[in-house]
Amino acid sequence: MTRPWRTLSLLLCLAAILLGSCGQRESSKGKTPGPKPSASTSSIATGSASPGGSATPAGSPSPSPSPSPSPSPTPDLCSSLPNPHINPTLEADLPTVLAAGSIDLCRFSETLSDYLGAASSSQVKIYTNWVVGFGRTPQDVDVAVDFPVADMTDVVILAVEIPGAKTDLASAFGRAAAAEGRTVGPAQVGDRNLIEVVDPTLDVTTGHYIAYIYSKGQICYFIVTDKHEQLVSALIQLPH
């Protein structure tokens, strides 16, 4: 069922936040948080920043371990949102800040079925075929979502947990996405091997037409952004 606060459209999860106006963000302290993103935020397209190319130029520094991020400086803003938290453990995998603290993030978690409530039929088919391949349905799979407090122009991060999965979740997602017309290929950021998915149907000016995916055990991580800085910052803090 679509919740009252699920207000973003599927094609532009960010109809009001055009990427072209976004650069290095100031801290979002004091800003009013927007509604939580729906599946449209991560329309799970994945591909390279320039389709067919590497996500980062050769010689680019590898993401390196860093101290755990400090708690978000805006906990009250996050807690004021009517977002579900059905899997706090999964949420804990996601960072609370990016870009040296200049982007504050809020987290929530719900079933994949609920998350897909505003999704297109194509998106629903990708995710459903993906989890069914592991003997699951969207109703019994959890997703944790990480999004900027002020808006979602820079990055959205997902963690999807499929209990019992024993094969590479990211590769399986790539195959499901390719079957629905997404452009899928490899990407490398430092020493991290990722799968890129690009949705050719989305407006590239939103920045959310591209995602970078990898998996660790029974959890698949999605970083939806076209900003290299945010991609690297997320990779440094996510489980390796």
What is the CB neighbour count within 10 angstroms for residue 191?
10
pLDDT in tens, 133-163: 999 999 999 999 999 987 666 789 999 999 9
Locate the domains of the chain by residue range: 33-57+64-237
The distance of Cα 181 from the centroid of its chain, to the nearest Å, equals: 19
CA dist., res. 78 & res. 232, Å (int): 24
pLDDT at 150: 75
For residue 25, the number of C-alpha atoms closer than 13 Å in the C-beta half-sphere is 28
CA dist., res. 174 & res. 129, Å (int): 11
pTM across the whole model: 0.73
pLDDT at 193: 96
pLDDT at 118: 84
Percent above pLDDT 90 for the chain: 53
Collect all residues with Cβ–Cβ distance below 8 Å to 158 and sequence separation of at least 6: 42, 143, 144, 145, 146, 221, 222, 224
pLDDT in tens, 168-208: 999 999 999 999 999 999 999 999 999 999 998 887 776 67
